[in-house]
Structure 1
Amino acid sequence: MTDQGGASRVAVLRALWRRGAAAMLRRTRHEVWMRLGGPARALPDRAAPAGPFLPCPAGTLPLETPVLARLLAGVDRAARPVSFATGRPDDAAPWHAVEPYAHGDVRLVWEVSRFGVLPALALAARATGEPRFLDAAERHLAAFLAACPPYRGAHWASAQEAAIRLIHLVAAGLILGGAPPPGGRALAGLLAARVRATFAYERSLANNHGLVCAAALAGAGAWLGTEDRRRGERILAADLPRLTTAAGGFAQVSTRYHRMALDALAFAALAGASLAAPLRDRLAAMAAWLGRVTDPATGQVPRLGHDDGTALLDATCAGPDDARPSLVRATAAAAAPGASPLALAGLGPMAPEPSPGGWADPEGGTAGLRHGRTLALLRLPGGRFPAGQGDIMHLTLMHRGEEILRDAGTWLYNPPAGESDLAGTAHHTTAQWGEADRPVRLGRFLFAAPPRLRHLEASADRLRAACDRHDRTVAVAGDTWTVTDRLAPGATLRWRLPPGTWLRRSDGVEGAAAALGVSADGPVDLRLAQGWDSPRYGERQRIPVLTVRLTGSTRCVVTRIRLP
């Protein structure tokens, strides 16, 4: 068993072991169940239920004028008819016979079937009393079931996708404020059964998949009065402590998936699931972590780790990149769990703005330093969780909601033949030796165990982290950030910059967003090159990259970034 880079079986097992012994056993159990024909017995074909699927609005829900205007502008665009056709040859195959990545990038296919428009349509129906919004929601659900018969084709291949649909269906019902009609109960039952069918596999991934599925079952079970409530609550109680840290870190070191997991947990609590005090504390800690990396004026969050644009519960049409509704929802869920249409929609009091200065979560693999509206976010080595990208010691610098030093994003999980995704070390603002990723890549979503964290400091104006070959210090004074990198011989540093015009200087570059000056204790090869950047999933563009290749005996590079 070797990967594309010739990684050994031992390296793969070590990486999987970081998910935990229980996760490995669940994966084995799932594979045995699949080989024994369990899927066909568990989920045979079912008839699609008929609507109505959602309750009638329980009275008017007033919204502030700016919120209502944004909602109505966004929901009219989102409510346009969509096609659920995939163009895949396995469209009519049983769900368990579909290989998601066999025919292009399935994530692009799944987006349209997530029922993401339902919460916004429900909120518009409550806010205006106009029947057209509820009619549009019913048409959307009926069109999905007509095009995607239960348990057939790619749209039913993933339990997490079924869980996302279940969250949005139930959230729409809760926002409308009525009891679920028979059609809605039947559809929710189909979705919940799909989640339960491969729950062991989703939990074995030890990431957002299991938490989202458990939260969906807990919240839906609370709304419908089914046993799924207790099942979801039990799994959340077992899994949330091991998938999070006391400082709010999450097992999947990704700002996008951190927010996704937080939204799912908040949904469960606001839908009526019972979360014990320790779980609410973890929910609050996850919200505090997200708040520390969110720009308070724009809601922007820097990209870190996998980023496929997922946004749950965008009921106010704030867009997938505004994390402020998630913070409002999580704050309400941690403080006073229970059904609240406005809180579920992400409307209500904001959490306090994050404090300036440094913070660190070595167990979760991140550290940060905030100065005014500028954030430095550092990906630490070591930690308790598996690495998902080759991003060790990556540094993002976000100023007033714009990433000045940046992660590349994801582009595609399954790129065309001859292309590669953007998870490798070359697509991060860190150091690389030769062409090798740090840590070594073992599979599509699996990397080897990262190097051990050997030193860590976080103070009011300084961060420092060190591992085997890289010691990085980040300091701020006024509008200037200084990054000092002490490196093993032969490294190449990359400073990934925003799109735009950058003028080459003798010691670096200067543009509208920042000026970078580089000095070193020996010779370096300084060049302005290009790299890939993915502003949205499925898209990529070229951006400028300042590369610093150490030559001779050079060991230390100092980079000063002056912000406007």
Structure 2
Amino acid sequence: MTSLAWKLNRLKLMGAPEIAWRVQQLLQKKASKFGLGLAARAPAPDLGRLGAAFVGDAAAGVDQATVCAAADAILAGRWNVFALRGLPLGFPPQWNRDPKTGTTAPMQLGKLIDYRSERVVGDIKYLWEPSRHLELVTLALAWRLSGERRYAEGARELLQSWLAQCPYPQGVHWTSSLELAVRLLNWAFAWQLLGGKTSFLFEGEGGQRFLRQWLDNVYQHCHFIRGYFSRHSSANNHLFGEYMGLFVAAVNWPCWPEAARWQALAQRGLEEEALKQNTEDGVNKEQAIYYQHEVMDMMLLCQRIGAANGVGFSQAYRQRLERLAEFVAALMDAGGHVPMTGDADDAQMVRLGYEPGWCPYRSLLASCALLFGRPDFKAKAGRLDDKNRWLFGAAGAARWDELGAAGPERPVLAFPQGGYYLLGKDYGQAGEVRLVADCAPLGYLSIAAHGHADALAFTLSLGGEEFLIDPGTYAYHTQKLWRDYFRSTAAHNTVQVDGQDQSEIGGNFMWLRKATARLLAHAATGELQVFEGEHDGYTRLADPVLHRRKVEFDSNRNALVIKDILECRGEHALALHWHFAEGCQVQGTRSQLSIEGERARLNMRCEFGAGVELLRCSESPPAGWISRKFDEKAGISTAIWRGKIVGTTEIVTVLEWQFKAH
């Protein structure tokens, strides 16, 4: 998509207030070319005014070996950046060079760089990720655990190199306020772990220069974020993250007169956005479960850092976090799997857990078990991970041990505001059936940036093993073919009409015409359970098509009957897609599939069209792929029934399964 086409599409989704605001922002950027509005000279900090410690001594029970191994790899110049593992970036790295493409971003005023252009910056995600400075915290953790000075000295060298190569406000690391905010969060953790102002790193004349240079940059980060908040149609998780960074910095370094104003502004923003961006029943409105995790993590970290400094958040804020945790718990099957609904970019706000098998969702449930005294969250989390040992300390570990045993799992089965509904039985047990149906809005605000065209799709796990899955995300700013595929209707377990998506793509993070889904029925208890919904995404066609789906679960027979009703007058080409997890062995004849899993055997029957087509690792058309991690994809089996209809038609698909004896 050309830059002009993107801008025209973006303009379509703006109202007059947003257009006026963006014009003001543009003028502000232009003025900064001449030094107007910049914080080129930071005021002297008052080192008598600093925040309280929010991480204490080396947390008991933390896996020191894995932390130090990660720190050793960094000191040796080996980095993990998304799909590139053990990347030889050197120590310190070239901060303005994209490690994936080799492109060096220009050193000009950051706000004037087109970071969306692969030609200008390469893959911006690979450039930005190391500069979030999670690795700085790794080195600081290793110092705190081992006492070996080389880790702390490495942290200083890493930070000094970044300050030298990325001077305020030049270069690609001074473009996005969210990136600055996450960097501030990690700087705050590193500061605390390294010992704050009493660290040996600040000893002597050279140490004092380093201290002043670091604090000057903290001030400039805060000043930048304050001037460039994400507003209007961009006021999603970016805005929340910007408030987080400003809040944490103001609490940790309250050593300038502006800090009190920054803290008040940021806390007020966090309180407002926590309620605005998340439904009362606990679903983040971006309709992307990984972004729900990110927002929850931001809320949690602000609460912990605030509490250590005598800054409390409202009961409404805390209740909303608890509801968000209930949604994650409801989605998580007995095997710990969470459907990959919507976009995901693998971001962590700060990395405090390095143990094998660490799971961000289980970690958050452990946090919420401690915050809210919830044995059911503890049961879903399974164990107290290292991240929570750092955040809650010895007192938290004691509270964890005191939490009583949970009874049988009873998940929330309906999230009518968020738009998700469960069918199933034996939750948390070996014979668990967990179906999650999507009857949600496409996404949040006018651009719905992180939503996927997945209305009326559902996922299915049996005995804690995934069978029908959401294939994930894979790409963001680059690889347009794959960016569009993974968020398309064809990449989800639902019906595609005339080769179109339910909603119209307008850019990498933008949707134009959006499908609206509506619940018709949901009965999630008893022997026969029902979900029924409809969406209007295809009513935009010349001959409008209304898609209605009814799912009936017979809990006695372990059987699902899916009825897809397409209401229309004329002729249309349909494609019914089903995506199976990697562990599933799928074989088929014209109207029947046999799906072999580790814990269950599933049969699928459908008489529609000329017969089933099985695709795996197909590039034309794209099909048969899953992306568990950003920029990584692997083959799966995708089953497609294609055919033509004339007038209103019902397609029936039957699933039956048996659990294997173990």
Q: Into which bin does the TM-score normalised by the smaller protein fall?
A: 0.7 to 0.9
What's 1:209 paired with? Answer: 238
In 1: Cα distance, 2:477 partner to 2:645 partner: 39
Over residues 354-392 of structure 1, what are the superposed CA-to-partner deviations in whole Å (9 max), with x where a residue is unaligned? 934562223223233463365432221448845422111
Asked if the contact 2:422/2:524 (under 8 Å) is kept, the reply is: no
* More off after superposition, 214-223 vs 75-84: 75-84
Letter in 2 for 1:517: N
In 2: Cα distance, 1:4 partner to 1:486 partner: 39
Change (3 A) 1:302 1:111: same
Identity rate of aligned residues, in percent? 21
Q: Secondary structure at the match of 2:351?
A: coil
* More off after superposition, 158-167 vs 402-411: 402-411
* More off after superposition, 550-559 vs 423-432: 550-559
Residue 465 of structure 1 is aligned with which of 529, 532, 540? 532
* More off after superposition, 133-142 vs 209-218: 133-142
What's 1:529 paired with? Answer: 615
What's 1:315 paired with? Answer: 352
Residue 237 of structure 1 is aligned with which of 271, 295, 311? 271
Letter in 2 for 1:162: L
Change (3 A) 1:43 1:428: farther
In 2: Cα distance, 1:4 partner to 1:356 partner: 51
What's 1:427 paired with? Answer: 491
Residue 391 of structure 2 is aligned with which of 334, 343, 346? 343
Long gaps (5+) in structure 1: none
Letter in 1 for 2:549: D
Shift of 1:343: 2.2
In 1: Cα distance, 2:165 partner to 2:348 partner: 24
What's 2:603 paired with? Answer: 517
Asked if the contact 1:464/1:473 (under 8 Å) is kept, the reply is: yes
What's 1:42 paired with? Answer: 37
Determine which structure has greater relative contact order: mean sequence separation of CA pairs < 8 Å that are 6+ residues apart, divided by chain length.
1
2:642 equivalent to 1:559: no
Change (3 A) 1:434 1:522: closer
Letter in 1 for 2:117: A
Change (3 A) 1:5 1:43: closer
Letter in 1 for 2:24: V
In 2: Cα distance, 1:252 partner to 1:80 partner: 39
What's 1:169 paired with? Answer: 187
Asked if the contact 2:343/2:472 (under 8 Å) is kept, the reply is: yes
Q: Secondary structure at the match of 2:133?
A: coil
Shift of 1:193: 2.3
Question: Equivalences for 1:221-370 in 2 at 5 Å?
Answer: 221-225=250-254, 226-227=259-260, 228-272=262-306, 273-295=311-333, 298=336, 300-318=337-355, 321-332=359-370, 342-343=390-391, 348=397, 349=400, 355-356=409-410, 359-369=413-423
Change (3 A) 1:366 1:45: farther
Letter in 2 for 1:30: R
Shift of 1:202: 4.9
* The structure with more radius of gyration: 2
Long gaps (5+) in structure 2: 45-49, 78-88, 199-210, 375-387, 535-545, 568-572, 617-622
Change (3 A) 1:90 1:129: closer
Letter in 2 for 1:276: S
| Number of residues of Structure 1 aligned to a counterpart in Structure 2 | 547
In 2: Cα distance, 1:276 partner to 1:54 partner: 21
Change (3 A) 1:516 1:557: farther
Shift of 1:139: 2.6
What's 1:93 paired with? Answer: 108
What's 2:17 paired with? Answer: 25
In 2: Cα distance, 1:357 partner to 1:290 partner: 10
Asked if the contact 2:559/2:655 (under 8 Å) is kept, the reply is: yes
Change (3 A) 1:242 1:458: farther
Shift of 1:268: 0.9
Shift of 1:232: 0.6
TM-score (norm: length of structure 1): 0.84
In 1: Cα distance, 2:602 partner to 2:462 partner: 14
What's 2:576 paired with? Answer: 493
Shift of 1:265: 1.2
In 2: Cα distance, 1:110 partner to 1:320 partner: 23
Over residues 503-544 of structure 1, what are the superposed CA-to-partner deviations in whole Å (9 max), with x where a residue is unaligned? 324511323355443334765531212313222211223321
Asked if the contact 2:434/2:461 (under 8 Å) is kept, the reply is: yes
What's 1:376 paired with? Answer: 435
Change (3 A) 1:424 1:89: same
TM-score (norm: length of structure 2): 0.72
What's 1:395 paired with? Answer: 458
Q: Secondary structure at the match of 2:67?
A: helix
